[in-house]
Amino acid sequence: MEQKDFILREIEKIGMIISAIRQKFFGEKQDQSVPIEKQLVDLKEMLVCKANFDLDKFMSLNIEGSNEYISSFKGFSVENIEYLADCISEICCRDSDGGSKKYLEKTLELYELCNLKSRTYSLEREMKIETIKNTL
């Protein structure tokens, strides 16, 4: 029972961290004076500090490595993986240095991982997958 409570707390913690990061960096009240490169560095630092998640390492891994890396975190439920995919997708929309294809591919991997792990079909997720595939 204690193990189940711990896992539930970890899931909630990761979800709150990703939600807070998305709100800070991609919310409606954005500071346009801060360059996207600085925002990206800050985002990566927050993920490392708050969730012990290394975005650079994650981005460099292949599909199997990415799935193993995500699975190594107890708090990454299907919802949290989808939040992370949404966050990376938003980075892609703001990235101007040509790295957006890499982010899109990683986002697609995450959405497909959600489909594998989820017991329910998500029309919204499928629409996101189709949009990414059309963009690539």
d(CA 38, CA 91): 12
What is the Cα gyration radius of the chain?
A: 15
d(CA 115, CA 84): 14
Domain with 73, as residue range(s), is 2-135
The pTM of this model reads 0.77
Cα dist. 71→23, 100, 113, 131 in Å? 25, 24, 10, 26
Confidence check: pLDDT of 33 > 90? no
Confidence check: pLDDT of 64 > 90? yes
> In the chain, how many domains are there?
1
What are the DSSP calls for 112-133, one per residue?
Answer: HHHHHH-SS--HHHHHHHHHHH
Residue 66 — pLDDT band, cuts 50, 70, 90? very high
Residue 51 — pLDDT band, cuts 50, 70, 90? confident
Q: What is the pLDDT of residues 113-125, one digit of tens each?
A: 999 999 889 999 9
Average pLDDT (11-34) is 69
Better-predicted residue by pLDDT, 89 or 20:
89
